[in-house]
């Protein structure tokens, strides 16, 4: 019998120590119990989040759904030959204790990763790393529960696609695969595997010999204790930001600028020709050592860490993190990327632009709409911003996106959804550069849109790298009409016809966005039921060959019955905003640039 706990305090399952509750909580001891949970109403009727030791999480609010935690423990050792030992550990094993166990067994490989908080399962998800070693280098395979098939599967190291603080589990595998056990490939040795990292190389010089795994483990713990707060005493999530990796051209340019100030940024050349920078040094040089907002503080001993001084709220931490990222960007022109995952079930929609391809006012027109003094009658081309789960997701970068981003105060983007390749929906792609930094941002598109973009914007989407200096690093993801994931979110494409042209709308949870539609087949309309918010195009009252009229949009709304609907993609024939509002049903409103709705 599974014990579902209600209104559960889960503060102890995080390392920040900021009070947080879950509407429902359950822990499972084996695959059989997890399978039973996956068939329960608590699973089927709620948002579900699987957590480990919470060492990389910041809950922005109480979690209105089901939190799952693995209770699978146990460590087994298998000798393959004299040089290879496989060690399999349950996902709930504390990572620090697991590394200690391996070193005590005379096994080398993991000693550089000593002292890292969290659980074994998270080592695969986060690809934890420290002192020149990453867990993914030593993982042989990962045993998972596949929530789509409800079967246990084993993924190879290659299938996990480990990257710097990254893995498949954080991308397309997020919320699909729950780690049950992790298998590591280690080797018996009385000599440490990697002492190339600065402090460990100096240890070798001090000792006069290559240190043993136990000596490296002790030194790593000593260094960590001197620089990093003990989560049992001071709440934190360890390193809050990733060390940025930039192109060689960008690095040389930055180095020249800093040299004029007599500064040299700590840097580490990468095998692919890029350069990794020290984020902690950048934060300190930006003058933020010890800086506080509310109860959150940049840790004075290691500026890469944000701590809870005892009374911090999640908002304090998030505001301080934004301030740090903004300050570093102002100082160095580099946007830091969070390593900590924000957990937030709230959902905010912002209408960046509500106009059709010509915008409103139309150039040269003197009608009452185009000359209106009402700001709601000034309509830039269609774009929308979704903010949820700590991510900013842009739908359609219109040609007006630069101005839209400035007015909305957008500082970063995590993903981009494109409905189709008409210029009024993609013309702002070049304007994304300041919001992306050096890391590839996924752009999700239909196959025909991908072909158009590669042809029309070759310099942004060519397959050979590196791109020319300054080009936004956009990563095209060709999607079908099957659901896909962005982080913890499931996105469902909706097939609609823009005249005779097939394009996509998108559904995310209880929200759907459709623009440039003239017809939606019955099967696709089914995807629009049970919505809290539907945003749909309504060009004007007169018929148009490629767009819904107001009457056609209202007919769709009446059929699928969302709690609330917003009309968009207007031209000047629609009339004044104040007049449109008076003739719409109670649960329908005309959109306008800057409209914001939180679910």
Question: Which amino acids are annotated catalytic?
Answer: 165, 239, 339
Alpha helices in 298-400 (DSSP H): 314-332
263 neighbors 254 (Cβ within 8 angstroms): no
CA distances, 455 to each of 159, 340, 426, 444, 461 (Å)? 31, 37, 13, 17, 9
φ/ψ (deg, to 5) at 410 = -70, 130
Token code pair at residue 176: 């699909």
Give which of 528, 527, 507, 504 is closest to 517, Cα–Cα: 504
- Selection from 575, 577, 589, 566 nearest residue 541 by Cα: 575
Residue 585 CA to residue 429 CA, distance in Å, equals 36
Rounded-to-integer distance, Cα 13 and Cα 17, Å: 9
State the Cα–Cα distance between residues 528 and 518, nearest whole angstrom.
15
Q: Which residues on adjacent β-strands are paired with residue 215?
A: none
The shares of helix, strand and coil residues in the chain, as percent rounded to the nearest 5, are 30, 30, 40
Contact 337, 242 (CB under 8 A): yes
CB 119 within 8 A of CB 98: no
């Amino acid at each position: 019998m599974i014990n579902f706990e209600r209104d559960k305090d889960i503060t102890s399952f995080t390392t920040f120590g900021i009070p947080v509750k879950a509407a429902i909580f359950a822990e499972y001891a084996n695959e059989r119990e997890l399978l039973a949970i996956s068939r329960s109403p608590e699973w089927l009727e709620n948002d579900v989040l699987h957590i480990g030791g919470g060492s990389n999480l910041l809950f922005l609010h109480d979690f209105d759904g089901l939190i799952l935690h693995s209770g699978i423990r146990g460590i087994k050792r298998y000798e393959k030959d004299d040089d290879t030992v496989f060690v399999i550990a349950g996902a709930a094993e504390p990572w620090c204790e697991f590394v200690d166990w391996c070193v005590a067994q005379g096994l080398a490989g993991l000693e550089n990763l000593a002292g890292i908080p969290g659980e074994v399962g998270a080592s695969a998800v986060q690809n934890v790393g420290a002192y020149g070693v990453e867990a993914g280098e030593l993982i042989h395979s990962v045993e998972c529960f596949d929530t789509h098939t409800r079967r246990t599967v084993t993924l190879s190291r290659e299938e996990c696609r480990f990257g710097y603080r990254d893995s498949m589990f954080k991308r397309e595998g997020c919320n699909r695969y729950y780690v049950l056990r992790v298998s590591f490939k280690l080797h018996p040795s009385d000599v440490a595997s990697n002492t190339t990292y600065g402090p460990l190389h100096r240890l070798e010089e001090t000792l006069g010999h290559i240190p043993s795994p136990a000596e490296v483990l002790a030194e790593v713990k000593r260094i960590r204790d001197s620089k990093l707060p003990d989560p049992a005493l001071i709440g934190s999530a360890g390193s809050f930001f990733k060390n940025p990796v930039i192109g060689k051209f960008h690095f040389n340019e930055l180095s020249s600028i800093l040299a004029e100030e007599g500064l040299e940024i700590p840097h580490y050349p990468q095998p692919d020709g890029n350069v990794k920078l020290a984020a902690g040094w950048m934060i300190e040089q930006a003058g933020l050592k010890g800086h506080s907002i509310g109860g959150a503080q940049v840790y004075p001993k290691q500026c890469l860490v944000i701590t809870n001084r005892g009374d911090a709220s999640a908002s304090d931490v998030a505001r301080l993190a934004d301030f740090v990222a903004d300050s570093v960007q102002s100082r160095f022109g580099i946007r830091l990327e969070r390593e900590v995952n924000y957990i937030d079930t709230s959902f905010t929609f912002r209408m960046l632009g509500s106009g059709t391809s010509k915008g409103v006012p139309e150039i040269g027109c003197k009608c009452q709409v185009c000359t209106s003094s009402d700001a709601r009658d000034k309509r830039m081309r269609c774009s929308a911003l979704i903010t949820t789960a700590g991510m900013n997701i842009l739908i359609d970068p219109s040609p007006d996106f630069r101005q839209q981003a400035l007015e909305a105060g957008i500082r970063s983007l995590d993903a981009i959804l494109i409905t189709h390749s008409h210029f009024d929906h993609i013309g702002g792609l070049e304007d994304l550069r300041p919001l992306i930094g050096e890391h590839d941002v996924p752009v999700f598109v239909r196959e025909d849109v991908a072909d158009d973009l590669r042809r029309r914007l070759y310099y942004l989407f060519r397959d050979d790298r590196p791109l020319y200096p300054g080009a936004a690093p956009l990563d095209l993801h060709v999607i079908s009409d099957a659901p896909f994931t962005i982080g913890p979110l499931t996105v469902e494409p909706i097939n609609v016809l823009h005249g005779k042209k097939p394009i996509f709308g998108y559904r995310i949870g209880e929200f759907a966005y459709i623009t440039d539609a003239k017809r939606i087949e019955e099967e696709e309309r089914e995807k629009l039921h049970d919505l809290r918010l539907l945003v749909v195009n309504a060009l004007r009252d007169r018929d148009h060959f490629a767009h819904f009229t107001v009457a056609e949009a209202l007919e769709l709304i009446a059929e699928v019955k969302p709690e609330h609907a917003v009309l968009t993609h207007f031209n000047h024939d629609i009339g004044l905003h104040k007049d449109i509002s008076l003739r719409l049903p109670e649960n329908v409103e005309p959109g306008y640039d800057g409209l914001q709705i939180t679910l």
